Chains A and B, each alone.
Chain A
Amino acid sequence: MTEPLLKVRGLTKHFPVRDGFRARGAVRAVDGLDFDVRPGETLGLVGESGCGKTTTGRMLVRLLDATSGSIEFDGRDITHARRAQLRPLRQDLQIIFQDPYASLNPRHTVGRIVAMPLQVNGINPPGGIKKRVQELLELVGLNPEHYNRYPHEFSGGQRQRIGIARALALRPKLIVADEPVSALDVSIQAQVINLLRDLQRDLDLAFVFIAHDLAVVRHFCHRVAVMYLGKIVEIGDRDDIYQRPQHPYTRALLSAIPDVTTLGPAGRIRLAGDVPTPLNPPSGCRFRTRCWKAQDRCATEEPPLITRDGGGQLTACHFPETGTISQDSGPVGATAEEVSK
């Protein structure tokens, strides 16, 4: 087995909450994550808003500092690397942002935006920077002649392509993509997903793909980690997660997605209530307040993220589900009646 490119252990981020000057606890946005990403592999990080997926992405590229835990990239511990140490690292580790309107400087031309990473790192590619930038624009499906245009002259999908070209400029090994398609119209979304898939295959890129849309993740990722309130509740190969999910939350999440392939309300798992606040997460298993299988043990003892069958699928649950989700009739297991109890 190849060495992982990215090794995350116990990654934690607490944002202190102050009441005037007094500390008043902390938002436990990310609370002890362990995962690996191998070279050329795409890991999907999914969950609802507030689960900590974006915070995790930002820590991976060191836009945020971790409270504790470690991030090892390409054999080096980068958790506390300084600015100067980080610079060479940034060549291998890039990020694509969600909002293609806010992440491009409106006063810079596209050429300048895409050239920036090369210039900052003092790289002079053979044939010159302009030639390399035009190659990159072509690679992401933009017209290289649009080099001198400004971001406002492009549509949302095209802007996202500019962001992708910028991320690719330094030929990175790993790209963190934070909701790269969720701001786009569906027809454009498919264009960008296909582009990312082609690039991933052709350039053998590793991705950490952060998204709330499980159908998109299924089309892009080799492995999937499901997060809930700052923790990974289940992680495994794509087919395991989508066909044989063990954690009740994963099942509920999959079941909640309205799928065009089923008309009318199907037999679904309905979760009651909202995600609790990360300021004061439930004791024991954090999902227990919305879980239909919760028992006393779930409140007192936090379930570890472990494998059930010796394979690569890890689940943090005291009472994991077994069995396959059938392809057309929705999930096996809990029915709506059970949930409403």
Chain B
Amino acid sequence: MVKLPEPRSGESPYLRVKDLRVRFDTEDGVVRAVDGVSFSVERGRTLGIVGESGSGKSVTSLAILGLHNAKRAAISGEISVGGRQLVGMPEEEVRRLRGRDMAMIFQDPLSALHPYYTVGRQIAEAYRVHHPRAGKREARGRAVDMLGRVGIPQPGKRFDQYPHEFSGGMRQRAMIAMALVNDPDLLIADEPTTALDVTVQAQILDLLEDLQGEFRSAIILITHDLGVVSQVADDVLVMYGGRAVEHGSVEQVLRRPQHPYTWGLLSSVPSLHGDADADLVPIKGNPPSLINLPSGCAFHPRCRYADRNGDRSRTEVPELRPAGEAGHLVACHLPADERTRLYQQDIAQVGVAQ
């Protein structure tokens, strides 16, 4: 049984995911996109989910929002949002929650916004769907207000413009305005800044943080960029091959990482500081196929330390267990003192880990 980190304050977490599994049956075989993942997010806190393509991070977020096609995906486990159990909830009821209590910001605002309707109309529509008694004028006022709050100049004029008239950063702001128009308690941002330039990314990350202070929503930030996570996340979940391999506070996971995969990520990323001439230490090989996941620890074919446990890494799936500090969990067969020693010896001097 996986133990969740205890919530820091007295209140119970707004989102609680327990042993979530998402499976797709395809012609080539069964894809286990998410394979037993548990975490929770409190109001006012940000959880960063990190992983490479195919690690299951986006599938997890779509499952929380109930956006998987029920005919294609088999979902099991528990997803509780504000005390309501989402897995198995009728579609009609999920729809009432989605957009009102939980909302999503997508990676590519150009494909997430409808090119045929004005930006303002789309935001107003999101409001009216959940406020059936609101009139057109009220919805417009609300949308203009939101556009202003996400930092779009001349919101009244911008309301009547189409997505193509917005720049990339402005479109992402409009997406955020749409997601926040109903004051959701849970906001899921899937790579919200990946398509943006760094100076604009910095603006959007600041904006998300300001808005969180204002709305006190729980935020899940899905990204492959460890730098982004280090700026905005309170807690971090590292995923690999559909499973959680490390979980803890941002300080624990990025400063005292325990899993060899997390080490690999940190030593792969070139840094702005430190020795620019030192070689990076990449993770050898490629991410695994989710149809044919390696036995035992899914990371073992790429792990430099897989042989240190005899056959264990190959035969036994490691559970997520306490890594020492309170709230820090890791799924690795290496003994704790061995992990500390290897980290100091091999990793601590390389890439952004230094």
Shortest C-beta distance, A180 to chain B (Å), equals 14
Interface pick from A83-91, A129-137, A248-256: A248-256
User: In the complex, are the beta carbons of A197 and B279 less than 8 A apart?
Assistant: yes
Closest Cβ of chain A to B270, distance in Å, is 4
Q: A253-278: contact bitstring with B at CB < 8 Å (1 yes, 0 no)?
A: 11011111111110010111011000
B198 engages A265 (CB within 8 Å): no
Known interface pairs A190-B282, A257-B272, A260-B254; A185-B228 also in contact (CB < 8 Å): no
A48 with B352, Cβ < 8 A, contacts A219-B270, A265-B209 known: no
**Residue among B170, B199, B267, B286 with the highest chain A CB neighbour number at 10 A:** B199
In the complex, what residues of A have CB within 8 A of residue B170's CB? 274
Q: Contact flags (1/0) for B202-229 with A, using CB distance below 8 Å?
A: 1101100100000000000000111111
Q: Counting CB contacts under 8 A, is A186 at the interface?
A: yes
Question: A142 an interface residue at 8 Å Cβ cutoff?
Answer: no
Q: Which residues of A contact B231 (CB under 8 A)?
A: 258, 262-265
Residue B245 at the chain A interface, CB threshold 8 Å:
no
Asked if B287 is at the interface (CB within 8 A of a chain A CB), the reply is yes
Report A-chain residues with C-beta under 8 Å of the C-beta of B255: 263
Q: Are B197 and A49 in contact (CB under 8 A)?
A: yes
CB contact under 8 A between A258 and B205, given known A187-B283, A238-B276, A263-B250: yes
B241 within 8 A of A: no
Cα separation A280 to B226 with both chains bound (whole Å): 36
**A272 vs B228: C-alpha distance when bound (angstroms):** 19
A214 proximal to B (CB < 8 A): yes
Task: Looking at the assembled complex, report how far the CB atom of A29 sits from the nearest CB atom of chain B, in whole angstroms.
Answer: 16
| Contact partners of A263 in chain B: CB under 8 A | 230-231, 250-251, 254-255
B29-67, CB under 8 A of A: which get 1 and which 0?
000000000000000000000001100000000000000
Contact between chains at B203 and A270 (CB < 8 Å): yes
The number of residue pairs between A and B whose CB atoms lie closer than 8 Å in the complex comes to: 139
Do A212 and B198 have beta carbons less than 8 Å apart?
A: yes
- Which residues of B sit under 8 angstroms from A254, Cβ to Cβ? 272
Does A218 have its Cβ within 8 Å of any Cβ on chain B? yes
List which A9-66 residues lie within 8 A (CB) of chain B: 48-49
Q: Within the assembled complex, what's the spacing in Å between the Cα atoms of A194 and B350?
A: 13
Contact pick for A191, options B265, B276, B282, CB 8 Å:
B282
Q: Is the interface of B mostly helix, strand, loop or mixed?
A: helix
Closest to A217 in B: B270
Closest to A265 in B: B231
A48 touching B273, Cβ below 8 Å: no
Cα(A275)–Cα(B168), bound, Å: 10
CB distance from A10 to the nearest CB of B (A): 27
Bound complex: CA A190 to CA B52 (Å): 13
Do B224 and A186 touch (CB < 8 A)?
Answer: yes
A212 touching B197, Cβ below 8 Å: yes
Given contacts A252-B199, A258-B225, A259-B272, contact A186 B251 (CB under 8 A): no
Q: A262 is contacted by which of B167, B199, B230, B281 (Cβ under 8 Å)?
A: B230
Closest to B170 in A: A274
Contact assessment for A260 and B52 in the assembled complex, using a CB-CB cutoff below 8 Å:
no
The interface residues of chain B lying within 8 Å CB-to-CB of A257 are 198, 227, 272
CA distance A275 to B197 in the complex (A): 10
Q: What mask results when residues 273 to 300 of chain B are scored 1 for a CB within 8 Å of chain A, else 0?
A: 1101001111110110000000000000
A242 and B272 contacting across the interface, CB-CB below 8 Å = yes
B99 part of interface (Cβ distance < 8 Å): no
Pair A187/B225 contact, Cβ less than 8 Å: no
Q: Does any Cβ of A come within 8 Å of B201's Cβ?
A: yes
Nearest neighbor of B228 in chain A, beta-carbon distance: A258
B269 at interface by CB-CB < 8 Å: yes
In the assembled complex, A109 has its CB within 8 A of some CB on chain B: no
User: B109 an interface residue at 8 Å Cβ cutoff?
Assistant: no
Closest to B283 in A: A187
> For B269, what are the chain A residues with a Cβ–Cβ distance below 8 Å?
186, 190, 215, 260
Q: Across the two chains, which residue of chain B brings its CB closest to A193?
A: B280
A332 contacts the other chain (CB 8 A): no
The answer to whether the Cβ of A328 comes within 8 Å of any Cβ in the partner chain is yes
A214 pairs with B272, CB closer than 8 A: yes
A189 to B226, CA, bound (A): 14
A188 interfacial by beta-carbon distance below 8 Å: yes
Contact with B along A308-330 (1 / 0, CB 8 A): 00000000000000000001100
Known: A48-B199, A186-B269, A257-B272. A157 touches B230 (CB 8 A): no
| Nearest-Cβ distance from residue B114 to partner chain A, whole angstroms | 22
Knowing that A190-B283, A258-B227 touch, tell me 16 more A-B residue pairs with CB under 8 angstroms: A158-B286, A185-B287, A190-B268, A190-B351, A214-B198, A214-B272, A215-B270, A215-B272, A218-B270, A218-B276, A242-B276, A256-B199, A259-B271, A264-B231, A270-B203, A274-B170
Q: List 12 A-B contacts (CB under 8 A).
A: A185-B224, A187-B283, A191-B284, A216-B270, A257-B198, A257-B272, A259-B273, A263-B250, A263-B255, A264-B230, A265-B209, A265-B231
Residues of A within 8 A of B (CB): 48-49, 155, 157-158, 185-191, 193-194, 197, 212-216, 218-219, 238-239, 242, 252-254, 256-265, 268, 270-272, 274-275, 327-328
The 6 closest A-B pairs by CB, nearest first: A258-B227, A190-B282, A190-B268, A48-B197, A187-B283, A260-B352
